Amino acid sequence: MEQTIFILIVAFLLLDVVVGTWLSLLNSRHWPENVPERIASVFTQKKFLKARSYSHERRRLSYVVSFFQLALILIMLFSGGFARIDDLAGGIWNHRIGQSIVYFGIIFLAVDVLTLPFQWYSVFSIEQKFGFNKSTPAIFIGDKIKSWIMAAVLGGGIFWLLAEIYYSIPDYFWLLAWGVLTLFSLLMTMFYSNIIVPLFNKQTPLEAGELRDAIELFAKTNGFNLKNIFVINGSKRSTKSNAYFTGIGPKKRIVLYDTLIEKHTTDEIVAVLAHEIGHYKMKHVTSGFIFSTILNLGALYLLNLFLSMPEFAGAIGMKPSLHASLLVFALLFSPVSTIIGVVSNIISRRHEFAADRFAYDHTHTPALADALIKLSVDNLSNPTPHPYYVFVNYSHPPVLERLDALDRLSEKDKN
């Protein structure tokens, strides 16, 4: 049994990297020689070639990182490294829950430190070369330290609570853990922008003026109660643009990147926000939350079955423990996780088309299409990704598909 589990772990790891590499290669060969006609007025040939070069450099780095991480895990599996870390964690904190927290802390920190050179290269070489990076070494290191502290406090705290439930009420662990994680997820949805974002970025209310007036008028006209409109200093780290809707109830807010305001017209920004409001009006946020909580319930039920089987810990040379079973479960769950990701992406892409349609129906202007083209050009996005790659990895439809859908809506208006 233990040998079979070990073989499955190795097979799943290899399969994940092989399939991911194959899809990436397909995607890299799907770039056309010239700019698609629909976006040629903005996406110049020079920009197009720059976007292709950017995509290729990021792809090559992703190959190196994927194979490096695979090699790390395989070395740990075949050398008994996971068991040695367990001994080290037990020596640091000889407590059944404390040892588990230290164990995962060592693994998390070791992986992050070992991949730090690749993260550094991504930001200060690739992003810098293509004109995106605005970060500094001090900001980069500060972000890392904050992330580690946050992971230790939030991750360690939640893990301790779940472990206490497991040891105290093992028969109902999966159900009670689901309740705790659902509540935590709900609280994070409500307070993410109030608590987490300020640790990394500055948010300020959008100043009174033409843009705020236009946004408030659109929201009021379409029955959307919106008082919280914030601008985030995304330019602190990157020139890339974004906007998002976050929170629920009285905590809901629209967040605009300062780079978005700098590069887009008022009509374009209103159209982008109309898209975000469309997600809310069509209950995409609610349905997404319900979908994820149902998936979590199923995953926790499967995990509960794993936790009662000592063979899983033995498969990686460890003594039976909560953290050993969790680690093996995570390694074996990767194919299921991939399938869930594909299904989630399919649903997400449909939601994006629906939100685009909402934005168009409530603006009846080409502003959203213009904004999508600008965002694609400014972010050097791939306008023609391979369909297989899109199917597995894209949560948003490719820009040309979104533009085609908007063009069809425009044609209907004319007729």
- Bridge partners, residue 246, by sequence: 253
Buried residues in 193-210 as b, exposed as e (16+ CB within 10 A):
beeebeebbebeebeeee
The answer for 162, left when phi > 0, alpha when psi is -120 to 50, beta otherwise, is alpha
What is the number of other CB atoms lying within 10 angstroms of the CB of residue 172? 14
State the Cα–Cα distance between residues 245 and 261, nearest whole angstrom: 16
- Count the neighbouring beta carbons within 10 Å of the beta carbon of residue 11: 11
User: In sequence order, which residues have a C-beta less than 8 Å from that of residue 9 and are 6 or more positions away?
Assistant: 77, 315, 316, 328, 331, 332
Does residue 205 sit in helix, strand or coil?
A: strand
- The CB density around residue 294, as the number of other CB atoms within 10 Å, is 11
Active site residue 268: no
Which position among 86, 268, 356, 378 bears the catalytic label?
A: 356
Query: Which residues are bridge partners to 253 per DSSP?
Result: 246
What end-to-end distance do the CA atoms of the chain give, in Å?
66
Helix extents (H) in 239-333: 258-263, 266-281, 284-307, 311-314, 322-332
Contacts of 169 by beta carbon, 8 Å cutoff, 6+ apart = 176
Tokens linked to 199? 């640790």
Name residue 233's amino acid.
Answer: N
Q: Which of 127, 268, 276, 401 is catalytic?
A: 276
The whole-angstrom distance between residue 96's C-alpha and the CA centroid of its chain comes to 32
Read off the amino acid at residue 285: V
Active site residue 361: no
Instruction: Sort 338 into a burial class: Cβ within 10 Å, 0-12 / 13-18 / 19+.
Output: middle
How many CA atoms, within 13 angstroms, populate the side-chain half-sphere of residue 144?
17
Q: At residue 338, what are phi and psi to the nearest 5 degrees?
A: -65, -45
Per the CB < 8 A criterion, the answer to whether 104 and 323 are in contact is yes
Rounded to an integer, what distance in angstroms lies between the CA atom of residue 403 and that of residue 411? Answer: 12
Active-site residues: which are they? Answer: 276, 356
